């Protein structure tokens, strides 16, 4: 007799718009296939502490348009330990849960990979949910599109005031070690310079740009990813400001506004597709994998690969950003 699948679903790490859509899809797809579903609150920490509740279809009604995660999230240093993962496993066994769907980023997947290797009685499926879009094996992660649109909208507004006073704005965006938000929001908002952590000598690039800009009197937007080795947007601006006293240099750190807000339709659709795919993977007997989205199709990627391999930023996109920006001025300036 085939064992009944009982699914536990949690969100871990940083929250991302669209996580609720994924939870909804996991829950309803599982219920429609005759499975039992348990919501695990506060991520791995809630799993350790037994903060779980059986979910019905009504529990996930009216959440698809909400940002954040109704299951809440938390960081858990305890889950990084063998003893912590043992407690988590005891919670699953106590409630008859034999499958775990983890919605989160690289740190969440690292924990899921360790757990899956230690407890073979639990099938673990990952759904990529992070605004950073830095997970190997998938073109998109849940929350990225919403965060990108939030940044573009904010930069458009900043450019209005920058233009009014001919100011230069350093706008810091999230991304840690990944410059996907910085690169694509910079292109979309027409930023003059884009600084990403994957490249060296970023401050020198700004200096060359400002040296060219010194002959003109125009506002400019410089997008700065938070993960630069050379410092934060504030630190870079403080370093640059004395060298170019003729410029009115301002800094805007967008911060956690990028994590919030109602998810875009793209995030809702992709999250829903991934949620259903996670349940289908369990029905097929799959374990220790991530459901991703590549070339507009759902793909299955071994969970350990998402941790071991690194998603790289596109050199082609960086080249395009500089080509269509004003960083590399023409040899003959038509304004002169």
The 3-class secondary structure across 49-67, one letter per residue, is: HCCEEECCHHHHCCCCCCC
Alpha helices per DSSP H over the chain: 19-32, 43-49, 82-94, 106-118, 144-165, 180-189, 202-213, 233-240, 265-283, 303-308, 315-324
* Cβ atoms of 127 and 22 closer than 8 Å: yes
**Coil, strand or helix: which one is 303?**
helix
Phi/psi for 79 (5° steps) reads -70, -20
Please give the Cα distance from 82 to 79 (Å, whole number). Answer: 7
Alpha helices per DSSP H over 177-302: 180-189, 202-213, 233-240, 265-283
Please give the Cα distance from 21 to 33 (Å, whole number). Answer: 18
Catalytic pick from 15, 51, 132, 145?
Answer: 132
> Residue 106 half-sphere exposure, CB side, CA atoms within 13 Å?
19
Q: What residues are paired with 225 via a beta bridge? A: 173
Phi/psi for 188 (5° steps) reads -65, -30
**Coil, strand or helix: which one is 86?**
helix
132 is catalytic: yes
Q: Which residues are catalytically annotated?
A: 132
């Amino acid at each position: 007799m085939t064992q009944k699948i009982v699914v536990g679903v949690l969100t871990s790490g940083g929250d991302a718009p669209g996580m609720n859509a994924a939870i909804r899809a996991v829950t309803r797809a599982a219920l429609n296939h005759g499975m039992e579903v348990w919501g695990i609150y506060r991520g791995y920490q809630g799993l350790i502490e037994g903060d779980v509740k059986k979910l019905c279809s009504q529990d996930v009604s009216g959440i698809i348009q909400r940002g954040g995660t109704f299951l809440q999230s938390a960081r858990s240093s305890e889950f990084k330990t063998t003893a912590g993962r043992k407690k988590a496993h005891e919670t699953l066994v106590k409630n008859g849960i034999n499958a775990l769907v983890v919605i989160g980023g690289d740190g969440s997947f690292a924990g899921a990979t360790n757990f899956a290797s230690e407890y073979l009685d639990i099938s673990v499926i990952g759904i990529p949910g992070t605004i950073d879009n830095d997970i190997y094996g998938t073109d998109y992660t849940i929350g990225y599109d919403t965060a990108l649109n939030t940044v573009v909208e904010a930069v458009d507004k900043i450019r209005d005031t920058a233009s009014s006073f001919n100011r230069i704005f350093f706008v810091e965006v999230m991304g840690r070690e990944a410059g996907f938000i910085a690169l694509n929001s910079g292109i979309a908002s027409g930023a003059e310079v884009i600084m990403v952590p994957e490249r060296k000598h970023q401050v020198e690039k700004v200096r060359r740009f400002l040296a060219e800009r010194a002959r003109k009197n125009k506002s400019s937007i410089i997008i700065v990813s938070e993960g630069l080795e050379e410092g934060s947007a504030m630190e870079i601006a403080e370093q640059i400001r004395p060298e170019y006293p003729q410029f009115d240099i301002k800094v805007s750190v967008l911060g956690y506004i990028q994590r919030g807000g109602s998810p875009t339709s793209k995030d809702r659709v992709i999250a829903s597709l991934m949620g259903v795919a996670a349940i289908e993977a369990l029905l097929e007997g799959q374990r220790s994998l991530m459901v991703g989205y590549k070339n507009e199709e759902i793909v299955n990627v071994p969970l350990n690969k998402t941790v071991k391999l690194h998603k790289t930023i596109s050199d082609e996109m960086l080249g395009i950003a500089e080509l269509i920006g004003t960083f590399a001025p023409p040899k003959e300036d038509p304004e002169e």
